[in-house]
Copies of this chain bind each other. A is one copy, B any other.
Amino acid sequence: MFVAMNRFKVTEGQGDAFEQMWRERKSYLDQVPGFLHFLLLRGDEPGDYISHSTWESRDAFVAWTQSESFASGHRQGSVQNVLQGPPVVSLYDAVITEGGGIPASK
């Protein structure tokens, strides 16, 4: 399994607006091969957010970043104006996996 995280530092007072932008976007992820799970995470530290996606493999993630779904998703306008700086992408391979899984959403 593979996890991609994009870390955002949201301007003070703009957290609700930032979350609303994410809720209103179309994610285009449902149909992407190898996509497993997406979370928008709000940290305990003020303004700290992560867009967090889990994939069957790094290859599936890389293929998505080169796809039309990715381009469509990222053409929807930017959250840039409520951020304190550019988001920071970090990529992770799962070395150990344990547990009963995570249920499907909705």
Contacts and interface: CB of A to CB of B under 8 A. Distances in A.
Interface of A: 1, 3, 19, 22-23, 27, 29-30, 35-45, 48-50, 52, 54, 90-106
A95 B40 contact: yes
Contact of A43 (B40, B50, B92, B97): B92
B29 A98 contact: yes
22 contacts: A1-B39, A22-B95, A27-B98, A29-B98, A30-B99, A36-B101, A37-B102, A38-B96, A38-B97, A39-B94, A39-B97, A40-B94, A40-B95, A42-B92, A42-B93, A42-B95, A43-B91, A44-B91, A45-B90, A98-B106, A100-B104, A101-B101
A10 B13 CA distance: 36
A29 to B, nearest CB: 6
Nearest to A40: B96
A21 B27 CA distance: 38
